[in-house]
Every structure is written in structure tokens, then in C-alpha cells.
Structure 1
């Protein structure tokens, strides 16, 4: 009976000696992962899922369809728009389109918790803060660019279709870039809430309530004792803040000009800080 030859101890691939006596080195360069790598990964994910195509596609249809339909109705009725900003006709399409941005913002992170994909994501990138930062950057830039481009296109078409007050440079800036920043911030707030709630349907429902409920509640407050609360709900409701960019606010008081953007920036910053804190402290 022959005795088997002893086997050589296992050596990792990078430590094995080659035929020439040197150590093996991988031809693939090895480097530490960066935020740019996480951003590239999140961009690949967000553009490859069907929810992005559907939500942003519906948003584009709403912005174009409602914006052009309102301009057509006004031009056909030959209404006197003297003193009324033409760009304000785009308000209704943007308000409905914001629901699509809210939905996509929640799904950007909450859907990964629902499918369990978040475990794979955090295995590939153990830094949770880097994952959330990459998601926020990709989503914010995507929603800002699409909203700004579409509001600009709708504004140009409305100005060509309707005779009204000539928009100033500040009007154009607020109704395009300002609205784009505000809607992107609103979507970022939705993303933060999705990270906190970790449930798509629940987070979307809460965000829709945040957008619409204050205005609806204010409409049914008839008591004199609730007059102050009613006025505050009217002034700081998201539809009224969004209307301020078009000089079409529901009330004559409340935030004006660029003030709604700073309010939304503060609220979103608090929500994102809470999302970072809970993401590092909770298990997936």
C-alpha cells in the first residue's frame, strides 16, 4: 500500500510564485472604491428599472399635456390676461407632475428594502452614508434636469400661444430653474422619508398627504378660533409655495419669490440628516 504524497500548503493567488520565481500580481488594477463609483452604480440602477421610465414619462406627459391644454383653452376663449403672468399656466401641470417625482424618490431607496436588494448594495459598498449620498445626488440631478427642461419647453410654447403680460427675466428664472430646484428638493425629501419608513406604499402615502392635506384641511376650517391655523396652512402648503414661483399663490400673504425654496431646503436637510442617522444605526 503506497502512502499518498504530501500536498503543498495552499497559498492565495496573489502570493503564489510564478515559473520565474516571482510573485503573482493581478493585471486588474486594484483601488479603493470612491463616491464616483457609487454614483456610477446608482445611475446604472435608476436608468435600468422600469419605475423610472414610467414615473418620469407620466410626469413629462402631465407637464406638456396640461400646460398646453390650459394655454389652448385660454387662447381659444380670448380671455383678457392683461397683468396675469403667462407662465402661471404651467402651475397645474407641475403640481400634478410633482406626485410622479415623489413616487420615484421613495422608490429609489424603499424598493430596495422591499426586494432585499439593499443587502447586495451594502455588501458591494459597506459605507451606508456613501450609498445614500450617491442615491441623493443621482436622483436630485435627474429630477432637476428633467423638470427644468420641461418647464422651459412648456413656458416657451405657452408664451407663443397666449397673449398676456410679457414675462421678465426673473419670472423665467423662477418658473424654470426655481421650480426645478423646488421639485427636486421635494423628491429628495421623499427619498429621505423612504429611507426612514423603508416601505414604498407607506412613504408615498405620507408624502402625498404632506402635499395635499394642509390645503384640504384649511378649506374646511370655518371656526373663528381656527382662523390663524387656517391662514398658516394656506400660506405654507406646498401648492401655495409652488404657486409663489409663478406669482400665482393661493393667498396674498405667505412666502413669495424664492422664499419657498429656502423653506424646502431646510425641511429636506433635516429629513436627510435623520435618514443618515437611522441608516447607520439600524439593521437592513
Structure 2
């Protein structure tokens, strides 16, 4: 009688189990550090990061120093107006770059389908969103703060003006970095909810500019209260208030660190809504 083919191939006899293969590579549960490493690899590998942040730096430096040079050449207000407030002129257009990058950080993955791979590797949606938010925030905050500091020093050297205290310098540098990074986080939250890059960028640019444009056309007395609210709490107005020790738009308007605190609250609510949307929607 011939031997069965399975036994000829060296298979174990019936009732005898083969030893289980154990990989020499240690297996451990993934944690937030793994997600952070993954998101850092993504954000520094795509060209959109280099272009958006590169244009951000270019706009802040060129416009900021250019405006300071014009003010210094004209001599208007150089003795009474602080030079640090001129940083607003480069910060506003640069914020559009951060808005774009914030949306693309997650909405581009929905557009290409890469989000399926991301959530397969890390099924925890909260961990994915937290890792993206942390990496994005730290990167934008560091670049914006360093650039704002260099621009502030250059502007003060060109324009001069009254001496500024440590609080004013801190708001013009660290405060500007915090505000722009939070604005980018808000954009990322909107991109998570909308899941469409062009749509989310359009919404965020509308949030940035539409209140001021709408307020300009409110001429009737009945809309005066709404017009004042739009002018006071619009994003560009909040950026101006960041550089001011007193409310620049009325006694009740924000000033100092208050714009940053307001944006922290709004961004926190938006990120909570983004997390709820990620859990409720399939990919």
C-alpha cells in the first residue's frame, strides 16, 4: 500500500499538530506615538506642505518688512505708533496659506481614498484626528512664531517708535503663531466635516473675509448693531486686536490675548464636531 501524498511531503501524522510559527519581530499594540510618527511622515512628504508654508513665510517677510520700510520712509506715525502692529499686514494674507494646508491635511485623504489605509492601520478615529491636529499645530506654530519674531525685530529696527513691553512682544510673536496655528486647526476640523478640499477651503476663506465684506453693505440703522459685531469679531479684526493693549473697536471689543482665547473655544468646538463626524460617517 502506498503512503498518502501528505505523509510523503513530510506532513504530520493524523492527530499530530504542527508547531505554530512565532515571528521574531516583537508585536505590540499601536499607540499615539505611532500615529504621530505616521502623520509627521505624511505632512513632511507632500509638496503642499512645502508650498503653503513657504508662501506663508514669503508673504509675512516681504509684506511685513515692505510695509515697515514704506512707513519709515514716509515718517508718518513713527514716533507715536508702535511698529509691532505692522506685522498684521503680512499675517492676514499668510493665513490663507495655513487655511489651505489645514484643509488639505485631512480632506485630501478623503479625496484620494488614502483615509481608508490610514484608518485600517489605525482604526481609532480619535487617535488619527488627535495625531493630525498635534503634528499640524506644532509645525505651523513653530514656523509662524519664528517668522513673526524675525519680522517684528526687522520692523522695530526700521520704524522705531515707542518702546514696547514684554507682553506686546509676546503677543506679536508667540500670540501670532498661536492664532494662525489655531486658525489652521479650525480649517482642518471643517475639512474633516466637509470631506472635500475645495468646498472646505471656500468655506474658510468665506469665514475669513465675508463678515467684513457683508458689514460694508449694512447701511441701515436697524443693522448697525450687527455691522458693529461683524467688524469687531471678524478674523482680520481679531488679528488687529491681538496687537493692541486696548480694544481697537469699541470698549466691549477684544484685545490682548482675548482673540486667542476666543479662537481656542471655537476651534475646540469644531474639533469636537469633526470627531463626531468621523465616528458617524463611513469612509
Fold in common (TM above 0.5): yes
1:41 and 2:34 correspond? no
Match of 2:213 among 216, 225, 236: 216
Question: 2 CA distance for matches of 1:242 and 1:214?
Answer: 14
The gaps in structure 1 that reach 5 residues or longer are 10-14, 18-22
Residues of 2 paired with 1:282 and 1:223: CA distance? 44
C-alpha distance after superposition, 1:25-81 (max 9, x if no partner): 322111100000000000000000000000000000000000110111111112232
Aligned counterpart, 1:192: 189
- What residue in structure 2 maps to residue 279 of structure 1? 278
3-state DSSP of counterpart to 1:6: helix
- Aligned equivalents of 1:168, 1:106: Cα separation in 2: 36
Tell me the distance in 1 between the aligned counterparts of 2:211 and 2:198. Answer: 20
Counterpart-to-counterpart distance in 2, 1:24 and 1:113: 38
After TM superposition, the structure 1 = structure 2 runs for residues 99-248 of structure 1, keeping only pairs within 5 Å, are 99-247=96-244
Question: 5+ unaligned residues in a row in structure 2: which ranges?
Answer: none
**TM-score if structure 2 supplies the norm length?**
0.93
**Distance across 1 between alignment mates of 2:248 and 2:45:** 39
TM-score by length of 1: 0.92
Q: Is the 8 A contact 1:152 1:176 kept in 2?
A: yes
CA apart distance, 1:4? 4.7
Once the two structures are TM-superposed, the CA of residue 251 in structure 1 deviates from its matched residue by 2.2
The whole-number CA distance in structure 1 between the counterparts of 2:92 and 2:139 is 18
| Secondary structure in structure 1 of the residue aligned to 2:265 | helix
User: Matched residues in 2 for 1:101 and 1:212: separation?
Assistant: 15
Asked if 2 retains the 8 angstrom alpha-carbon contact of 1:234 and 1:250, the reply is no
In the superposition, relative to structure 1, how do residues 278 and 162 fare at CA in structure 2: closer, same or farther (>3 Å)? same
Alignment RMSD (CA, Å) = 1.8
Change (3 A) 1:16 1:33: farther
Residue in 1 that maps onto 2:86: 89
* Offset, 1:163: 2.2
Of 51, 60, 63 in structure 2, the residue corresponding to residue 54 of structure 1 is 51
1:8-87 alignment, distance < 5 Å? 8=11, 17=19, 24-87=21-84
Distance in structure 2 (CA, Å) of the matches to 1:75 and 1:157: 12
CA offset digits 1:184-228 (Å, max 9, x no partner): 111000000000000000000000000100011111111001000
Structure-1 residue corresponding to 2:250: 252
Distance 1:114 1:250 in 2: 42
Structure 2 contact 72–78 (Cα < 8 Å) conserved: no
User: Which whole-Å deviations, capped at 9, do the CAs of 1:253-278 have from their partners, x for residues lacking one?
Assistant: 41111111111111111111011111
User: Over residues 93-116 of structure 1, what are the superposed CA-to-partner deviations in whole Å (9 max), with x where a residue is unaligned?
Assistant: 001101000000000000000000
CA distance in 2: counterparts of 1:129 and 1:283, whole angstroms: 14
How many residue pairs get aligned? The number is: 274
Moved over 6 A (4+): none
